[in-house]
């Protein structure tokens, strides 16, 4: 229980990091494996386990959303749709513009989808991988990981908390982009019925519903990316290494996607699925594309989640 209390204590202060104490605690594989053999030892925490889990998650979320670096990244992402909106507003008057600019100029809701289509390729993945890649490696680097594990919270549970924390942040990133784009769109462009890519028109309420679906889909994609970053994060004690590795992976995927000769493998690359949110803009909604994308995200989460678990639960924690 001391972990949750310790972290809760840390959140109360303005410091974003857990202060390493002077208690020489060293958890190795041997001590980690020994624990389950003594059921009595974890009797009381087990009874309170659901509560301690949520408390741990809450304190993690508090840390994540109070950390100035993360807030700064969210703010920067929120500015991008405003910039796009203003830029489109400036050029909207001119003739001969492409269809997408005309779509935005004609309807405020379209700015959300345009913003997604720009940001989903690189910026949103970068922000998400900073938080997810930092999750385990950051603790290890700061020397706080062993204190987290000193409590009988269990490695699996800690990993689950760290991942859920990253997922919530991923959805926060998506929601910030969507809301900022929506507000900018409503301020700069006329509201009303939405014209879909298929040329049919739907009411504004249904348009908002489709934005919600798009947010759910893109958020799920970012959550899948967070699983990759988390897995990389368990392999290193230098958080920047995990973050950089994830970003490099994304860029490599984008390069591979641009090579037409490699068309065979593109459906299996994660970033290919990010842009499929445009399925909600078709009539009827291309549920097959959305479903395939979600299945792919699920596969990535299961695969990299289990790699993270296998690595983390068998790792010697020395820092």
Partner 1 sequence: MRRGTYVRWGVPVAAAAVIGAAIGAGPVIAAVSGDPVLPERSAQQLLADAAAANSKAGGVPPMSGTVQQTASLGLPALPQDAGTSPLSLLSGSHEVKVWYGAHDKMRVAIPTQLNETNLIVNGGQGWYWDSSTNTATRLTVKEGAGQEHKTPMPQPTDLTPQQVAERLLADAEKYTDVRVINTAEVAGRPAYQLVLAPKAEGSLVQEVRIALDGETYVPLQVQVYAKGSAEPAFQVGFTQVTFTPPAPENFAFTPPAGAKVEEKTLGDQPGEHAEERAEKAEDVKERVKVVGDGWASVAVLPFDQKELATKAAETPEDGERFGGGADPNALLDSVLKSATPVSGPWGSGKLIRTKLVTALLTDDGRLLVGPVTPEEITKAAGVK
Residues that bind partner 1 (CB under 8 A): 29, 33, 98-100, 102-103, 106, 113-114, 117, 193, 195, 197-201, 260, 263, 268, 275, 278, 281-284, 286, 288, 299, 302-303, 306-307, 309-310, 313-314
User: Quick one: 13 or 199, whose CB is closer to partner 1?
Assistant: 199
Other residues' Cβ atoms within 10 Å of the Cβ of residue 48: 12
Judge contact between 231 and 305, C-beta under 8 A.
yes
Spatial separation of the C-alpha atoms in residues 117 and 25, rounded to whole Å:
48
Three-class DSSP labels, 72-136: HHHHHHHHHHHHHHHHHHHHCCCCCCCHHHHHHHHCCCHHHHHHHHHHCCCHHHHHHHHHHHHHH
Helix axes 68-91, 49-66, angle to 10 degrees: 60
| Nearer Cβ to partner 1 (175/292) | 292
**Minimum distance, C-beta of residue 49 to partner 1, in the bound complex (Å):** 22
Q: Based on CB atoms, which residue is closest to partner 1, 6 or 220? A: 220
- Please, what sign has the CA dihedral across residues 235, 149, 314, 310? negative
Q: How far is the CB of 249 from partner 1 (least distance, A)?
A: 17
Kindly state the smallest distance separating residue 11's Cβ from partner 1, in Å. 32
Closest CB 310 distance from partner 1, rounded Å: 5
The three state secondary structure string of 245-303 is HHHHHHHHHHHHHHCHHHCCCHHHCHHHHHHHHHHHHCCCCCHHHHHHHHHHHHHHHHH
Q: Is 194 left (phi over 0), alpha (psi -120 to 50) or beta?
A: beta
Return the ∠ at Cα 61 (arms to 242 and 25), rounded to 5°.
Answer: 65
In the complex, the smallest distance separating the C-beta of residue 167 from partner 1, rounded to whole angstroms, is 18
Angle CA 182–187–189, to nearest 5? 85
Give the residue with the Cβ less far from partner 1, 43 or 314. Answer: 314
Minimum CB separation of residue 48 from partner 1 in Å reads: 27
Is 65 or 286 the residue whose CB approaches partner 1 more closely? 286
Between 113 and 169, CB nearer to partner 1: 113
Both tokens of 205, joined, read: 């309420």
- Complex with partner 1: residue 12 or 209, whichever CB lies closer: 209
Q: Cβ closer to partner 1: 254 or 275?
A: 275
Compute the least distance from the CB of residue 284 to partner 1, in Å: 7
Q: How far is CA 288 from CA 112, 211, 222, 232, 284, in A?
A: 22, 18, 20, 31, 11
Minimum CB separation of residue 263 from partner 1 in Å reads 5
251 or 285, CB closer to partner 1?
285
Q: How far is the CB of 277 from partner 1 (least distance, A)?
A: 10
Q: What are phi and psi of 315, to 5 degrees?
A: -90, 145
């Amino acid at each position: 229980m001391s972990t949750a209390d310790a972290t809760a204590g840390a959140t109360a202060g303005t410091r974003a990091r857990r202060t390493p104490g002077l208690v020489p605690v060293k958890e190795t594989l041997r001590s980690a494996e020994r624990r389950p053999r003594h059921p009595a030892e974890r009797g009381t925490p087990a009874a309170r386990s659901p509560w301690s889990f949520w408390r741990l998650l809450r304190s993690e979320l508090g840390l994540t959303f109070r950390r100035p670096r993360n807030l700064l990244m969210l703010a920067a992402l929120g500015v991008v749709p405003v910039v796009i909106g203003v830029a489109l507003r400036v050029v909207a008057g001119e003739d001969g513009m492409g269809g997408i600019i005309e779509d935005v100029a004609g309807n405020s809701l379209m700015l959300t989808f345009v913003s997604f289509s720009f940001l989903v390729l690189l910026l949103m993945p970068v922000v998400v991988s900073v938080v997810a890649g930092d999750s385990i490696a950051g603790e290890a680097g700061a020397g706080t990981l062993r204190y987290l594990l000193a409590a009988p919270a269990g490695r699996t549970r800690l990993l689950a908390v760290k991942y859920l924390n990253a997922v919530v942040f991923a959805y926060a990133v998506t929601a910030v982009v969507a809301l900022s784009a929506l507000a900018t769109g409503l301020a700069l462009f006329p509201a009303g019925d939405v014209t879909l890519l298929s040329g049919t028109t739907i009411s504004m309420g249904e348009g908002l519903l489709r934005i919600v679906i798009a947010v759910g889909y893109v958020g799920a994609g970012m959550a899948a990316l967070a699983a990759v970053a988390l897995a990389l994060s368990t392999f290193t004690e230098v958080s920047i290494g995990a973050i950089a590795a994830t970003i490099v992976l994304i860029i490599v995927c984008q390069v591979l996607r641009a090579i037409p000769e490699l068309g065979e493998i593109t459906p299996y690359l994660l970033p290919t699925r990010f842009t499929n949110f445009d399925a909600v803009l078709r009539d009827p909604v291309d549920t097959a594309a959305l479903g395939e994308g979600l299945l792919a995200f699920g596969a990535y989460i299961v695969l990299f989640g289990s790699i993270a678990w296998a690595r983390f639960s068998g790792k010697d924690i020395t820092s």
